[in-house]
Amino acid sequence: MITLFNVWHYTVFGIILLIFIGGIAIAFKDDNSKIRVQLIFTTFLITTVMAGFSLFVVDKYTKKAKLYKLENKRNLSSEQIMYSGLVRNEGNYEIGEVTFEIKLVNRGHASGNVKAGSFFKPSGFFDFFSGESISGKSKPQQITHEFVVAKNLKPGETREFRVYFDYPPYFRGVAHFSKIYAH
């Protein structure tokens, strides 16, 4: 996934490039060739890690999205659930993608009303080969779905979204947890 870079990304990457060039220059000033290779490799490794972390840090503080008017409706005839709402870019920079994550948890587990064996299903080495663990006989008590609900969201812009997915028929009551991520 390609994210949209802003001025802060380029500034941080420019500083990291200067650090890399400085490390290479220091490495070539050393007369010992073994230490020179180690210095170049260490400089490359450190600046690569710095670039990776800085990408996430700059994204976190410059790309801010907020979720408004989240509603859900369940269609009993097709056993689907629909979520709709609005996402708004609250920051000063354009957002490449906004991802909506919804987690459904069977309410018996969310409220503490848990019966024996609800979470733990004993399995063994032979279950893998018999296909019992793969066949889907176990029913997950929480389900997470992610959807890209907006792309290229300009500062201050708001977009509507609507997503559908299959509702687990064995859920009796559901606790909903929603998040959005701006990339």
**DSSP bridge pairs for 82:** 73, 164
Domain extents in the chain: 7-62, 65-182
Mean pLDDT of the chain: 81
Q: Measuring CA to CA, which residue among 8, 38, 14 is closest to residue 24?
A: 38
Residue 48 banded pLDDT, cuts 50, 70, 90 = very high
Alpha-carbon Rg for the chain in angstroms: 24
3 is written with which tokens? 């994210």
| Residues 108/172, Cβ–Cβ less than 8 Å | yes
Q: Measuring CA to CA, which residue among 52, 80, 51 is closest to residue 145?
A: 80
| Residues 68/88, Cβ–Cβ less than 8 Å | yes
- 0.85 cut: is pTM over it? no
The fold of the 65-182 domain, in CATH, is Immunoglobulin-like (2.60.40)
Per-residue pLDDT tens over the stretch 121-174? 555 565 556 555 555 566 788 889 999 988 888 888 899 999 988 888 887 778
Beta strand 142-153 with 80-89: parallel, antiparallel or unpaired?
A: unpaired
Per-residue pLDDT tens over the stretch 161-177? 999 888 888 877 788 88
Q: Is 129 exposed, middle or buried (0-12, 13-18, 19+ CB in 10 A)?
A: exposed
Residue that wins the pLDDT comparison between 85 and 183: 85
Residue 91 has pLDDT above 80, yes or no: yes
